[in-house]
Amino acid sequence: MGKRQLGVRKPIEVAIIGGGCASIAAAFELTQLRHKGAYHVTIYQLGWRLGGKGSSGRGVAGRVQEHGLHVWLGCYDNAFLLLRQCYEELKENAKWRGRKWDDFFLPDPHIAVAGISANGDWVNWAAHFPPAPGLPGDPLDTHNPFALKHYFARGVALLRTLLLGLETFRASDATNQNLDLERDQNDSDAIIARVTSLLRLGALASAAVAVEALALLEAALKSVAAVPQNTVLKLMEAIAAAVRKQFEQLVASDDHVRYQWEIVDLILANLIGAIRFGLLTDPRGLDAINHLDQREWLRLNGASERAIDSPFTRVLYDMALAYEGGDANRPAVAAGVALRGTLRFFFCYRGAPLWKMRAGMGDVVFAPFYEALRQRGVTFKFFHRLRNVKLVDASRLAPGEKQYVEALEFDVQAETRGKREYRPLINVRGMQCWPAEPDFRQLKDGPRLQRENRDFESHWDHQRAAALELRVTRDFDFVVLGVGVGALPYVCGEIVASNPRWRMMVDRVKTVATQAFQIWLGADLQELGWEMPPVTLTSFVKPFDTWADMGHVIPAEDWHGHPPRTAAYFCNVLADPPHEPDAFDIDYPRRRREEVRVNAIGFLNRDIHHLWPKAKRRSGEFRWELLVNPEPTKEKTGRTATRSRFNTQYWTANVNPSDRYTLSLPGSLEYRISPLDNTYDNLTIAGDWTDCSLNVGCVEAATMSGRLAAHAISRWPALEDIIGYDHP
Amino acid sequence: MAKKSEGKKGERLRRDDPDRDAPHRSGSDHIKRNAGSGSGKGGGAGNGGNGGPNGPKSLISESVQQAISNMVQLSSTVIEEQIRAGQTAAARLRDGMANSQQLNTDVSMMVESLVATTKDVGATWLDLLSIVVRSIGAKSAGPGVPGDRKGTGTTQPTTRTQTGTSSGAITISNVTPADPAIPAEPPQIVVTGNGVKNVTLDLRPPSPRFVPLVRELLAGDPKHSLPKVKFQLTADRTHLVLTVNVPRGQTAGTYTGAIVDSSTNEPGGTVSVTVGS
Ligand SMILES: Cc1cc2nc3c(=O)[nH]c(=O)nc-3n(C[C@H](O)[C@H](O)[C@H](O)COP(=O)(O)OP(=O)(O)OC[C@H]3O[C@@H](n4cnc5c(N)ncnc54)[C@H](O)[C@@H]3O)c2cc1C
């Protein structure tokens, strides 16, 4: 640590570049009270808002407009821990008084997947995950979710969930109505149908873990004993006929049985693999299999091709946006990362497996952090785009001295009027929120900038009002580089050119562009024909494989008495064009957005009826009138809405290099560099792309990375306190 | 346009090298390191950043090993409830499941014991179960075994091995007692008949009362079996011998089978016999 820390009042200056989850976590840790003000943090952020890939903005009618659908998992211990501390700290803040973190998070116990059935239709499978004790972010010594008992309890819940899924199926299957064996004693066909079904389940499942199969066979046996002899005989014949058919046919004929089987098959393959590959004792933990793709790993461990192609495997790819180049035909995720994520997801959640925000992620997460950090004295510099991290010339280094960052070069995109501090938040229904656009009134030349339709977040917008150079010791002591990995070639040219490890990292840690759209609907889910609970559904058709019902956000919006009945968010990867756009192609983001608009319209016309059968007209087209226009006065009303109604909704193409989603490709993880790395002794990195242990593009990994960056500078928090850092 | 203030040049601060810059990933290591940290003071939410430790003291014994053993234990709990078989797969896994072949065989064992309990229900049920068994056989035909490690980490039982030859076959006899009270004495393997390339016995007696019985050995294609593999006691009744009798014309292939307790059906090992062409 620097000597100045001892006995000298002047705080250590930390410049944090970027205001995403990782940067904010680093800032929050460095300004904890325990440091007694030893660190003064300044956050330099391009554009007008914090959040990065997790940002959101309020648009017309106070609508929440997300960078992309964001849900938090119940196992995000680091992220929830810090966020809860933040809310706690704001208790006394006049704007936040009385607001608790759990007022803004909705536990969601339902997860659904969609898959193609034997007859080519889409079938949905929704699982209900029973509530797990505690809440995410609870201190671990209270609930200790990682102790021995924890996995057991979660394991029970998991299989119970599987079995419950099965029950639901049985109850709803037309050929297999809830039969009462006593009552239907003489209805041998009915009994045969039931027992045949049981038999199918048994046969299939036992091939995997001999769990359900054995149980259900026993059940079948008992049922047989309870019916008259001739029925037994008939039954036996029916069973024999059924089982003589190949398993393939059994699976193909019964989608829900197939789902059940696929999950069990995948669990077994992972168990076998863990043993085969010696993961239990390998010092690399699950990283030992990161050279393999998840599917390859499952295949190596005997999973059936059906299970490998199943929605339950796809779900991992879809949730991790794991499609190289955004190409649906190039799914790729490192097996170790996927398995770690899965274990944590299933076994470590508290409360619910998913937590959905009741407003934008910007409002629920980044606005409170902004307020709390300001309260702690953090300085925010919006409209500051880092252009270059300048290293000291090696010839000027003292013997044994490490290379370091000598200067940070910025474009100041816009200046505020009267050099006043930019105040970024607005109030929507009593809540502090980020607007979807900058507040031009606060900016020098604001009206002109607004007229010019300036996009301060666009990578291709190079205009600036001024340039700024920060120099080491004069303006900063330490740097936390918290930009997205996609931005590194543009801001760290010198480092990338001179340091082979960085070059490899930039080459190998790839990213993918994403697309998202949101629609606000005048009908509720039931009216749309969706019969399951409000869910988060994934592994659906491309180009939008993930859908979340977000009706619960509407009360936080500002619809002036005519709120929509529900809202739906969709999200997925966006394929890269054959050639990269050139550096000055300022129109590029607009063209990509247009592509997303067309994709979304096509998807609504072509695919959504698989989920919402009542959302289509007789002609097969989407019922465009379902979309609620936030500015109805500007439009003729009536049932004849056309696809142009879609233009009143929200869509986005996330193509800026920094905004691209970080992939965890097989064979890439070892090229990540840790925030603890000390090659440049006044620079640390932070972001979901760093070697932060979890190593998957998510809020939790970014938070862990930010905490590690804080540790690198201040030795706090202890590595053991970064939850899950030492996960196998 | 660049702004350069002329501030004085102070002393440059440096970060010290960290104690480490990578996670401790080893599962068993992890358990050891966490074993004593039972009551770490988790600051948790509400700490308000006031300087107390703001995270848990690594009670995170989220080891894969536990996850797996618990999952398997769970599986067997379901079985127990439903068919009262009382055979816990978890115990076997914990006792040191060495490879997938064994796991598959293990599953086969359960199904086979179900065969026994349902025999009297009729031939149709047996048809069904043989399909189940076959499907498991198909699953075991996986690729090679990378990282061929034994043991599962923390409480690894010791294995004693005796190698030898008999009728031209290489014999490997392992014994891994679950309990120190069980003598760790690998049984002798005696092969009669021709064409046997090797015999591997992996005996894992779960209790001192265990009396091993070999089930029929099956090839990858379950149409082919090897029924004459038996445990016997030496004449002085002090030592156990595994006799492998391979008839003439036995189809080439690897035959594997389970070892169970002769009275309780509790599984306790595997045998594999490779017959050359
Ligand atoms: C569409 C989509 C959906 C997602 N859904 C989920 C989800 O449901 N759950 C989940 O956990 N995770 C999800 N993620 C991942 C999650 O958003 C990220 O892992 C996380 O936000 C990354 O945080 P970060 O701090 O590492 O990076 P970022 O959020 O990218 O932060 C980087 C920051 O640096 C700033 N910056 C970049 N360049 C410069 C520059 N030159 N000068 C100044 N500032 C700069 C950016 O504006 C930004 O503020 C999703 C991601 C995407 C893209």
CB contact residues (below 8 A), chain B span 235-274, against chain A: none
Q: Which two tokens stand for residue A605?
A: 């016309």
- Residue that is last in its domain, among B140, B172, B193: B140
CA pair distance A45, A373, nearest whole angstrom: 14
Those residues with Cβ within 8 angstroms of residue A48's Cβ, 6 or more apart along the chain or in another chain: A382, A383, A422, A424, A434, A435, A437, A438, A439, A456
Nearest neighbour of A280 by CB, restricted to B65, B103, B141: B65
Mean pLDDT score, B183-209: 85
Q: Which two tokens stand for residue A360?
A: 């934008």
Mean pLDDT score, A456-480: 97
Residue nearest to atom 35 of ligand 1 (CA): A18
Mean pLDDT score, A291-313: 86
Is the domain of B83 the same as that of B123? yes
On whether the CB atoms of residues A411 and A385 are closer than 8 A, the answer is: yes
Nearest neighbour of B99 by CB, restricted to A203, A276, A287: A276
Please write the tens of the pLDDT for every residue from A81-117: 999 999 999 998 888 877 899 999 999 988 888 888 7
Nearest 5°: phi and psi at B163? -110, 155
Cβ of B45 within 8 Å of Cβ of A152? The answer is no
Q: Which of B5, B29, B59, B97 to mutate to test the interface with A (most CBs of A within 10 A)?
A: B59
CA proximity to B119, closest of B127, B110, B131: B127
- Outline where DSSP puts E strands in A375-418: 379-381, 384-391, 405-412
Q: Which amino acid belongs to residue A596?
A: V
Nearest neighbour of B14 by CB, restricted to A469, A682, A727: A682
In B, which residues are within 8 Å of A146 by CB distance?
Answer: 59-62
On whether the CB atoms of residues A126 and A533 are closer than 8 A, the answer is: yes
Would you call B190 exposed, middle or buried from its count of C-beta atoms within 10 A (0-12, 13-18, 19+)?
middle
In B, which residues are within 8 Å of A32 by CB distance?
Answer: 49-51, 54
pLDDT of residue A315: 87
Residue B112 lies in a domain: yes
Query: Distance of alpha carbon B17 from its chain centroid, rounded?
Result: 42
Q: pTM value?
A: 0.73
Mean pLDDT score, B7-17: 77
B257 vs B185: which has the higher pLDDT: B185
In B, which residues are within 8 Å of A282 by CB distance?
Answer: 25-27, 147, 149
pLDDT band for position A301 (50/70/90)? confident
For the CA of A410, the closest atom of ligand 1 is 42
| Ligand 1 pocket mutation, candidates A457, A698, A703, A704, criterion most atoms within 8 A of CB | A698
Lowest pLDDT segment from A34-43, A250-259, A601-610, B187-196? A250-259
Per-residue pLDDT for B233 more than 90? no
Residue B40 lies in a domain: no
CA proximity to A286, closest of B65, B55, B218, B212: B65
Domains and CATH numbers, chain A: 13-55+72-106+361-509+673-721 (3.50.50.60), 146-347 (no CATH), 510-658 (no CATH)
Q: Return the H-helix or E-strand segment holding A171.
A: helix A148-172
Per-residue pLDDT for A236 more than 60? no
Residue nearest to atom 5 of ligand 1 (CA): A70
SS3 B56: coil
> What are all long-range contacts of A314-317, with beta carbons under 8 Å and residues at least 24 apart?
A314/A113, A314/A115, A314/A538, A314/A539, A314/A545, A315/A113, A315/A538, A315/A539, A316/A341, A316/A342
Mean pLDDT score, A528-549: 89
pLDDT band for position B57 (50/70/90)? very low
> HSE of A401 in the Cβ direction (CA atoms, 13 Å)?
15
Nearest neighbour of A140 by CB, restricted to B23, B50, B59: B59
Of all residues in chain A, the percent with pLDDT exceeding 70 is 80
Residue B189 lies in a domain: yes
Residue B236 lies in a domain: yes
Nearest neighbour of A728 by CB, restricted to B63, B98, B141: B63
Is the domain of B101 the same as that of B199? no
Q: Which two tokens stand for residue A369?
A: 């952090």
Our CA-based measurement puts residue A509 at a distance from the nearest CA of chain B, in whole angstroms, of 18
Residue B151 lies in a domain: no
Residue nearest to atom 14 of ligand 1 (CA): A698
Our CA-based measurement puts residue B193 at a distance from the nearest CA of chain A, in whole angstroms, of 33
Lowest pLDDT segment from A85-94, A216-225, A508-517? A216-225
Residue nearest to atom 16 of ligand 1 (CA): A698
Q: Which of B5, B87, B100 to mutate to test the interface with A (most CBs of A within 10 A)?
A: B100
B67: containing domain: 62-140
Residue B29 lies in a domain: no
Q: Which two tokens stand for residue B21?
A: 């810059």
Those residues with Cβ within 8 angstroms of residue A375's Cβ, 6 or more apart along the chain or in another chain: A89, A90, A93
Regarding the beta carbon of A298 and ligand 1, being less than 6 Å apart is answered: no
- Residue that is last in its domain, among B75, B108, B140: B140
For the CA of A68, the closest atom of ligand 1 is 1
Please write the tens of the pLDDT for every residue from B35-55: 333 333 333 333 333 333 333
In A, which residues are within 8 Å of B67 by CB distance?
Answer: 151, 155, 343, 347
Lowest pLDDT segment from A56-60, A480-484, B49-53, B245-249? B49-53
Cβ of B39 within 8 Å of Cβ of A141? The answer is yes
Is the minimum CB–CB distance between A187 and chain B shorter than 8 Å?
no
Lowest pLDDT segment from A122-131, A256-265, A276-285, A673-682? A256-265
Mean predicted lDDT score pLDDT of chain A: 83
SS3 B163: strand
For the CA of A654, the closest atom of ligand 1 is 53
Mean pLDDT score, A315-323: 92
Nearest 5°: phi and psi at A7? 75, -5
Is the domain of B164 the same as that of B271? yes
Is the domain of B166 the same as that of B229? yes
Please write the tens of the pLDDT for every residue from A347-387: 788 899 999 999 999 999 999 999 999 999 999 999 999 99
pLDDT of residue A262: 72
Is the domain of B175 the same as that of B223? yes
Closest residue in chain A to residue B38, using alpha carbons only: A141
In A, which residues are within 8 Å of B63 by CB distance?
Answer: 280, 728
Residues facing residue A214 across a β-bridge: none
Mean pLDDT score, A280-295: 87
CA proximity to B222, closest of B131, B150, B161, B151: B131
A260 vs B97: which has the higher pLDDT: A260
CB contact residues (below 8 A), chain A span 583-602, against chain B: none
Per-residue pLDDT for A594 more than 80? yes
Residue nearest to atom 6 of ligand 1 (CA): A70
pLDDT of residue A151: 38
CA pair distance A639, A727, nearest whole angstrom: 56
CB contact residues (below 8 A), chain A span 255-274, against chain B: 267, 271-272, 274
Number of independent structural domains in chain B: 2
Is the domain of B97 the same as that of B194? no
Is the minimum CB–CB distance between A275 and chain B shorter than 8 Å?
yes
Closest residue in chain B to residue A282, using alpha carbons only: B26
Q: Which amino acid belongs to residue A697?
A: G
Please state, as a whole number, how many other Cβ atoms lie within 10 Å of the Cβ of residue A255: 21
On whether the CB atoms of residues A538 and A315 are closer than 8 A, the answer is: yes
Closest residue in chain A to residue B124, using alpha carbons only: A240
Sign of the alpha-carbon torsion through A163, A168, A170, A171: positive
Please write the tens of the pLDDT for every residue from B163-177: 999 999 999 998 877
CB contact residues (below 8 A), chain B span 68-97, against chain A: 68, 70-75, 78-79, 81-83, 85, 89, 93, 97
CA pair distance A133, A28, nearest whole angstrom: 28
Is the domain of B134 the same as that of B221? no
Query: Distance of alpha carbon A221 from its chain centroid, rounded?
Result: 45
Per-residue pLDDT for A220 more than 90? no
Peptide bond into A534 cis (omega under 30): no
Please write the tens of the pLDDT for every residue from A46-56: 999 999 999 99
CA pair distance A486, B250, nearest whole angstrom: 63
CA pair distance A419, A695, nearest whole angstrom: 40
pLDDT band for position A200 (50/70/90)? very low
CB contact residues (below 8 A), chain B span 127-166, against chain A: 127-128, 131-132, 135-136, 139-143, 145-149, 151-153
pLDDT of residue A256: 61
Is the domain of B86 the same as that of B168? no
Closest residue in chain A to residue B120, using alpha carbons only: A221
Of all residues in chain B, the percent with pLDDT exceeding 90 is 13
pLDDT band for position A254 (50/70/90)? low
Per-residue pLDDT for B130 more than 70? no
Let me know the angle formed at the C-alpha of A401 by A400 and A406, rounded to the nearest 5 degrees. Answer: 160
Let me know the angle formed at the C-alpha of A302 by A296 and A307, rounded to the nearest 5 degrees. Answer: 75
- Outline where DSSP puts E strands in A536-673: 536-538, 546-549, 566-574, 650-654, 661-662
Residue nearest to atom 19 of ligand 1 (CA): A698
Residue nearest to atom 3 of ligand 1 (CA): A68
Q: Which two tokens stand for residue A561?
A: 């008495």
CA pair distance A171, A165, nearest whole angstrom: 10
Q: Which of A143, A209, A348, A672 to mutate to test the interface with B (most CBs of B within 10 A)?
A: A209
| Ligand 1 pocket mutation, candidates A319, A483, A571, A692, criterion most atoms within 8 A of CB | A483
Nearest 5°: phi and psi at A251? -65, -45
How much of chain B is in helix, strand and coil states, percent to nearest 5? 25, 25, 50
Per-residue pLDDT for A522 more than 90? yes
Regarding the beta carbon of A698 and ligand 1, being less than 6 Å apart is answered: yes
- Rg for chain A, CA atoms, rounded: 27
Is the domain of B107 the same as that of B195? no
Lowest pLDDT segment from A44-48, A294-298, A590-594? A294-298
Closest residue in chain A to residue B28, using alpha carbons only: A281
Is the domain of B136 the same as that of B165? no
Please write the tens of the pLDDT for every residue from A598-654: 999 999 999 999 999 999 999 999 999 999 999 877 666 555 789 999 999 999 999
Residue B2 lies in a domain: no
Regarding the beta carbon of A487 and ligand 1, being less than 6 Å apart is answered: yes
pLDDT of residue A280: 63
Closest residue in chain B to residue A86, using alpha carbons only: B48
Regarding the beta carbon of A682 and ligand 1, being less than 6 Å apart is answered: no
Cβ of B83 within 8 Å of Cβ of A84? The answer is no
pLDDT of residue A533: 83
Per-residue pLDDT for B139 more than 50? no
Per-residue pLDDT for B263 more than 80? no
How remote is the CA of residue A697 from the centroid of ligand 1, in Å? 9
Residue B56 lies in a domain: no
pLDDT of residue B42: 33
B49 vs A440: which has the higher pLDDT: A440
In B, which residues are within 8 Å of A676 by CB distance?
Answer: 18, 20-22
CB contact residues (below 8 A), chain A span 101-140, against chain B: 101, 137-140
pLDDT band for position A343 (50/70/90)? confident
ipTM score here? 0.81
Q: Which two tokens stand for residue A359?
A: 């407003």
pLDDT band for position A597 (50/70/90)? very high
Please write the tens of the pLDDT for every residue from B81-93: 322 322 333 233 3
Mean pLDDT score, A235-247: 36
Mean pLDDT score, B138-143: 31
